[in-house]
Amino acid sequence: MCGIVGYVGQKQALEVVVAGLRRLEYRGYDSAGVAVIADGTLAVRKRAGKLVNLETLLGSDPMPDSTTGIGHTRWATHGGPTDRNAHPHVSEDGRVAVIHNGIIENFALLRAELEAIGVTLSSDTDSEVAAHLLSAELVRTDGDLPEAMRRVCRRLEGAFTLLAIDRATPDLVVGARRNSPLVVGVGDGENFLASDVAAFIEHTREALELGQDQVVAITPDAVVVTDFDGQPVDATVFHVDWDASAAEKGGYDLFMLKEIAEQPKAVADSLRGRITAGHRLQLDEMRIDESVLREVSKVVVIACGTAAHAGMVAKYAIEHWTRIPVEVELASEFRYRDPIVGPDSLVIAISQSGETMDTLMALRHAKSQGARTLAICNTVGSTIPRESDAVLYTYAGPEVAVASTKAFLTQIVAAYLIGLYLGQVRGTMFEDEIRRILDELADMPRRVDLVLDTTEPVRALARELVAAPSVLFLGRHVGYPVALEGALKLKELAYMHAEGFAAGELKHGPIALIEDGVPVVVVVPSPRGRAVLHDKIMSNVQEVRARGAVVIAIAEEGDEAVAAFADHIIRIPAVPTLMQPLVATVPLQVFACEMATARGLDVDQPRNLAKSVTVE
């Protein structure tokens, strides 16, 4: 997510803002910029890359002294990470500077409207439209920046935190938020705006949390909050008792815990703007012609680790919806097995970082065989999407912890959208079917939230099993890749032996591993989906229980059959079969995280691992 900082007061704004951006670096970004008001003019400096690039520019091209300023670190969504796409964006008349965090869903319409009246836009971003709209409203409101902001916000759709300064009104910074965070730091003769408190807690620990659809105007001695219609709002003041390091994690002890908690928002953001009001798919951003999709004879997923598990989950859905065969290939194996791919193959490369060398080399091989390539990626402008024919980004925001969590859920969501799009384009799905599934997906953030509210039993269980030498994971159908993912989390975080199996495979060897006290986590399919899957896994549970296993069942609310055979039951919401991975995975993430914590290990940076494996 982007980092946002605004300041007005007695200090040098540039110093306060740049220091604040440094505090927000953990959020991940690919460009940075600042703007200040000095002597009735706007001074703006911005650069692609890390803050050091901006600071080098500021050294060679210094800003004037000023006590009013805004700053931004950008995590690219619309428009690559370049100088011209970096924020702040300035209105054509040079009057207003704006910074933005989020996605303005109706930006294309607004861009067209601005171009139609002769405005020249200078970037590829959605954010820039806000600068031009604000300057037009400033004229209409006779320079009333808060009112101009309210009028603009009423026209925007999507998720946004906006900050703006007007060269004609120094000592004023105006902010607004919808579906994106904005907090106020309340100082003595100075005030701050930021995407999170980490940016200003070295100056003040008194803060205001803004609510949905609110506009805030800060001057050195006042903070005025209204709703988008101009009605005054009493914002709640709170005291920040986190230290700076904890503030970077949003108050969580670990980035992984923060990112597990961000999963409902990550799923919602990855759906945002892709489902129309009429509940139809809108994937214009994918640049593969529908006629090409109609000719696809097979889909090949190439990925590594967690991303490969997401591909395995997607296989069940895409084959069910489109009747197109889906092969899921470990990228590191793909190009060495002389794969059969060609112009009628759609190769989907799934990668959070977009830089995994195994996946990149597999992608290049697929392209050399003439295949159409599509990336599912969380990092805009990274190598894998750049080298793919098309890309569907997951908007999970930066994933800092090495162990992938929110990326996994959003990779599944993105792959499902592609599967539904294939079904829609090829006519293998009825519109009402697609609509129903889109509604199910749209309800998943709420369901994941429900799981997050009930994680204490999972944590307690992890602490109880802290000395276990190994844990086995069983699943069937889409629960099988979930079992693999649960095992991977435990391996990479707690450094313990863990193995995931297709439950039906037990009797073909792995059951020899079962003896007294062996913990076995079972991802239980919904009894409402395919009853046979549920019945079969109940048999598997009895087989391992009879041999002394300690059975931990991940089972949906209302599934009482499991109670007779499980030593522990972790309940998840009852959801449609293909949606279960989005809720069943969360307890397994928490289990592994807690196990590693109980073992005193470095959860966010486990030994021997890198967040992005850029070597083969």
Select 396 or 514, whichever has its Cβ closest to ligand AGP.
Answer: 396
How far apart are alpha carbons 396 and 352 in whole angstroms? 9
Select 332 or 345, whichever has its Cβ closest to ligand AGP.
Answer: 332
How far apart are alpha carbons 29 and 34 in whole angstroms? 14
Active-site residues: which are they?
2, 611
Phi, psi of 285 (to 5 degrees): -65, -20
Q: Is 12 in the site for ligand AGP (CB under 6 A)?
A: no
CA 204 to chain centre: 29
Going residue by residue from 593 to 612, which x/- string records binding to ligand AGP, judged by CB under 6 A? -------------------x
Candidates 404, 424, 455, 589; binder of ligand AGP (CB under 6 A) is: 404
Q: Are 554 and 514 in contact (CB under 8 A)?
A: no
Stretch that binds ligand AGP, among 24-32, 299-307, 455-463, 525-533 (CB under 6 A): 299-307
Distance in Å, CB of 552 to ligand AGP, minimum: 21
Residue with tokens 């959801």: 575
Residue whose beta carbon is closest to ligand AGP: 305
Q: Is 306 in the site for ligand AGP (CB under 6 A)?
A: yes
Distance in Å, CB of 411 to ligand AGP, minimum: 8
How far apart are alpha carbons 569 and 5 in whole angstroms? 45
Select 353 or 373, whichever has its Cβ closest to ligand AGP.
Answer: 353
Q: Is 307 in the site for ligand AGP (CB under 6 A)?
A: yes
Q: CB under 8 Å to 72, separation ≥6 — which residues?
A: 2, 3, 4, 5, 21, 32, 33, 34, 46, 86, 87, 88, 99, 100, 101
Q: Is 402 in the site for ligand AGP (CB under 6 A)?
A: yes
Stretch that binds ligand AGP, among 396-404, 468-476, 528-536, 563-571 (CB under 6 A): 396-404
Candidates 42, 304, 550, 593; binder of ligand AGP (CB under 6 A) is: 304
Q: Is 490 in the site for ligand AGP (CB under 6 A)?
A: no
Select 70 or 304, whichever has its Cβ closest to ligand AGP.
Answer: 304
Distance in Å, CB of 301 to ligand AGP, minimum: 12
Can you read off the two tokens belonging to residue 414? Answer: 């993105």
Distance in Å, CB of 436 to ligand AGP, minimum: 30
Q: Which of 310, 509, 508, 513 shows the shortest CA–CA distance to 409?
A: 310
Candidates 359, 388, 526, 597; binder of ligand AGP (CB under 6 A) is: 359
Q: Is 127 in the site for ligand AGP (CB under 6 A)?
A: no
The Cβ of residue 515 has, within 10 Å, a number of other Cβ atoms equal to 9
Q: CB under 8 Å to 455, separation ≥6 — which residues?
A: 586, 587, 590
Q: Which of 289, 285, 339 shows the shortest CA–CA distance to 124?
A: 285
Distance in Å, CB of 350 to ligand AGP, minimum: 7
Element (H, E) at 485: helix 479-494
Select 363 or 555, whichever has its Cβ closest to ligand AGP.
Answer: 363
Counting residues that bind ligand AGP (by CB under 6 A) gives 15
Q: Which of 526, 594, 576 shows the shortest CA–CA distance to 260?
A: 594
Select 305 or 385, whichever has its Cβ closest to ligand AGP.
Answer: 305
How far apart are alpha carbons 77 and 126 in whole angstroms? 9
Q: Is 351 in the site for ligand AGP (CB under 6 A)?
A: yes
Stretch that binds ligand AGP, among 29-37, 105-113, 253-261, 301-309 (CB under 6 A): 301-309
The amino acid occupying position 151 is: R
Candidates 3, 146, 175, 305; binder of ligand AGP (CB under 6 A) is: 305
The Cβ of residue 307 has, within 10 Å, a number of other Cβ atoms equal to 25
- Rounded-to-10 torsion of CA 132, 137, 138, 140: 140
First to last CA, the chain: 29
Select 377 or 390, whichever has its Cβ closest to ligand AGP.
Answer: 377
Candidates 31, 204, 322, 356; binder of ligand AGP (CB under 6 A) is: 356
Stretch that binds ligand AGP, among 17-25, 98-106, 350-358, 588-596 (CB under 6 A): 350-358
Q: CB under 8 Å to 412, separation ≥6 — which residues?
A: 310, 313, 314, 581, 582
Stretch that binds ligand AGP, among 18-26, 34-42, 401-409, 586-594 (CB under 6 A): 401-409
Report the DSSP pairing between strands 191-194 and 3-8: antiparallel
Candidates 13, 90, 199, 403; binder of ligand AGP (CB under 6 A) is: 403
Q: CB under 8 Å to 48, separation ≥6 — which residues?
A: 30, 31, 81, 82, 83, 85, 86
Candidates 161, 353, 455, 597; binder of ligand AGP (CB under 6 A) is: 353
Distance in Å, CB of 269 to ligand AGP, minimum: 18
Half-sphere exposure of 523 (CA within 13 A, CB side): 31
Distance in Å, CB of 231 to ligand AGP, minimum: 45
Alpha helices, DSSP H only, in 324-380? 331-334, 357-368
Select 5 or 304, whichever has its Cβ closest to ligand AGP.
Answer: 304
Select 137 or 492, whichever has its Cβ closest to ligand AGP.
Answer: 492
By the criterion CB under 6 A, which residues form the site for ligand AGP?
A: 304-307, 351-353, 356, 359, 402-404, 492, 612-613
